[in-house]
Amino acid sequence: MSADHIVQIFRRVLETPDVHARSDFFELGGDSLLATRVLSAIARDFGIELPYDDFLEDPSAEGLFAKVTAVAP
């Protein structure tokens, strides 16, 4: 899997096709409740549970994918 998979999660949760790997989730209209849906989807699809603070640090698909790969076994 790749950051593109997280882009697809963002698009589904935000209901917009206007998402790219470096798009800021919150600038696209995301909020904390939608962010938890993204984190749940990442946990389900990647098998990695990221804390909400990781999302706040870099709220982009590319940033979250970097976090996933950093903690993946």
Closest by CA position to 5, among listed 35, 42, 54, 59: 42
Average pLDDT, the chain: 94
Q: Tell me: the pLDDT tens digits for 4-30? A: 999 999 999 999 999 999 999 999 999
Share above pLDDT 70 across residues of the chain, in percent, rounded to a whole number:
99
Do you know the residue count of the chain? Answer: 73
Confidence band (pLDDT; 50, 70, 90) for 73?
low
Return the CATH fold of 3-71.
Answer: 1.10.1200
Tokens at 28, concatenated: 């696209």
> Domain ranges in the chain?
3-71
Q: Tell me: the pLDDT tens digits for 42-68? A: 999 999 999 999 999 999 999 999 999
Look up residue 29 and give its DSSP letter.
T
Q: pTM for the whole thing?
A: 0.92
